[in-house]
Structure 1
Amino acid sequence: MHTQGSRPICINFNASIIAEQGAQANASEYVQSKLSNITLSEIDADLNSEIDLYRYTIETMPNGITSYIRGSYVNNLAKLILETWRTGNTNFWNKRPSSIAQKIIFEKPTAIFFSNRIVVLVNEIDFKIQYLRCESEFEIDRGAQYPLILENVIENAVTPLSTSPPSASVKFKMCESSPKLEINLADKPDDVVGRDGVTIHIQCNVPMSILESDPTSIYYEFAGNENGVVWEPIRNQSE
């Protein structure tokens, strides 16, 4: 089974943190904790509203204090990254112009307003798209599902018999008959499944994850080396 897809990685922000005087260090740690582990989800209920993006204006008070006034809603940060990723991912697999490096530029003043009076002025967002391919193998014992095959010599067809889960008495059920085909194993037709099996292709429409606990799968990433851009196995999947 070949599963192909991608995921956003290495998300970096070109941004400025505005906080009350003396609270800059704590503000930096707080913002880092909020932006270092963003959950990308297509379900609005799963999105963190704390990282919503808004337009803003700047006002200077008579006492010299500068205020950042929140304006209209722009988008959720996670949703924006997901939308940008989806465009790149779709273009890549449809062989349209695409890029591993992605950049989101805010031409108008845009910021995140946290509830503890911390404002993050966002100018640009950079991230990479890691294109992935996973190859997995699995075996299905058709003999366990269809222990008997009836040959209909009159209609030149075969009828498999399936069984119900093991019990005190085994019950057989006749399945749909299929015409018999003469197969030359030296020139096997594409639609015939033999001992070599069949390849299933699956396209992920959500960010693809790497399952480190699956020893039967081999993961590849689209990367460049001295031979050009090729699919390379990911040796250390935890990276």
Structure 2
Amino acid sequence: MPTDPTCGMFVEEGEHALKTTRYGTTYYFCSETCLVEFQAPEEAVARLKRLVTLGALVTVPIVALSYLPVVSERAANNIVMFVLSLPIQFVVGFRFYRGSYDALRSRVGNMDLLIGLGTSAAWIYSTIVTFVPGFFPGSETYFETSAIIITLIQTGNLLEYITKGKASEAVHRLLSLQPTMARVVRDGVETSVLVEKVEVGDVLMVRPGERVPVDGKVVEGSSAVDESMITGESLP
């Protein structure tokens, strides 16, 4: 069973599965959100930075209000926290709702569904306590809990994307060192061909300082070759 390269969740292969192909490899995704973020990682990082900044700026006052009410009446203080929690729940946390919808539509479970259910339960309960006093036995609200969870998870997602981006960039730089052409000697004639066209049993000519294009063994002569792709050393 394949895993989503964005979130790491196991996904089902099927006719209606979300998938894309890159470098000859097919990747499957649990939601449209993960697919979009995989296809445009730089845009995803920029968007996450904005969301995390918004989340931090709004979560801090919500947490402060939950412990140090600035309004003497508890009901009024809860209303202030309710208003502040709206952008956290439905702007910063929108990706969890979208991911939950995609998961339900695909009949699979993912982390977005769990996070969406958990934070929504806390937010809905707190909203009912705020506007319908006495509906529940307790009077405590959990706006700050939902806000903290959403903001911290988005912060973790941002750090993960940044780390993956750096690793991916390093891999692409490494792959760029791979030769695209090879000198093939066939019937005594040296010809330059694409590496993909090299066949098993071909004899290749590797000149001093060049990279070895494919795996093989030395059948004649000796020389110095560029091993920077493996060793990182620039000198042959």
TM-score interval, smaller chain = under 0.3
Which structure has greater strand proportion? 1
TM-score (norm 2): 0.23
Q: Name the structure, 1 or 2, with higher relative contact order (CA <8 Å, separation 6+).
A: 1
